[in-house]
Structure 1
């Protein structure tokens, strides 16, 4: 059974661009490397040929996986999303109750997460703990250091 993944339009476009790069840029480069290695003669002891074939196999596997992800991707319609609860694409401002530090995260799909941009996956421990919570709720989030408590201060889109 295939897993449906939800993306923003921007996130899905990035995946499609990545696939296009693999198919139209990386694939021809590897094919050229294989051709050059074949031109050098005996393939039984040709390390360049073996390396290029291995790289080709890895690339083809990545392409197939990415094609499957894109085929099962759905774009999130933000107009129908409840803004009173923390859901995917919500901007959630939280306060760590142990040190009073505040931070705002955007909850996104796994493949769109980027901690530098404060985008966390809904499948991460913090993302899972925040999902479904409302302003004022306390989220108990299990981390390697133990359970941390976060208060939901604000939810926006």
Structure 2
């Protein structure tokens, strides 16, 4: 499997979640299963079944995170000298050519993307249109809602 780009912050967040799952959640769930077993008949024991379901979810998430981390190519954009070009990991200020509205996006890996926090996937239509462009360039973004023109106002390595 090929490497998947990920920011240093994204890797840190995944490692913290993995630590939480392994060192806090897993022991808590095992304890809950042990306590539920003490209550007797497991067929009709809702606490036992709920704890087993939590365990299944936690173990699945642990495997998912470990898989993502094993295929991650961590890119620390702060270690790259600023060039004014849009690359993975940078924060970009855009001006909508039609409305003069300003929007800021940070280009991140697929697993880190969160539109509510203006974190866009490197594979999104906006990011694909921006990669390789420079400050001052006008970019046409072909999105499902129609074409939009943006001017790249500033590229920041944060």
Q: Could you say which residue in structure 2 is the equivalent of 1:155?
A: 155
Q: Deviations over 1:69-117 (max 9, x none)?
A: 1112222154456724211122222111121112232222223334455
Structure 2, gaps ≥5 residues long: none
Q: Deviations over 1:109-139 (max 9, x none)?
A: 2233344554322122322221122233322
Given that 1:125 and 1:141 are in contact with CA atoms closer than 8 Å, whether structure 2 keeps it comes out as: yes
Question: Please, what TM-score do these two structures have when normalized by structure 1?
Answer: 0.85
In structure 2, how many angstroms separate the alpha carbons of the residues matched to 1:87 and 1:154? Answer: 12
Structure 1, gaps ≥5 residues long: none
Aligned residues: 156
Question: Please, what TM-score do these two structures have when normalized by structure 2?
Answer: 0.85
Given that 2:21 and 2:62 are in contact with CA atoms closer than 8 Å, whether structure 1 keeps it comes out as: yes
Given that 1:97 and 1:150 are in contact with CA atoms closer than 8 Å, whether structure 2 keeps it comes out as: yes
In structure 1, how many angstroms separate the alpha carbons of the residues matched to 2:23 and 2:76? Answer: 31
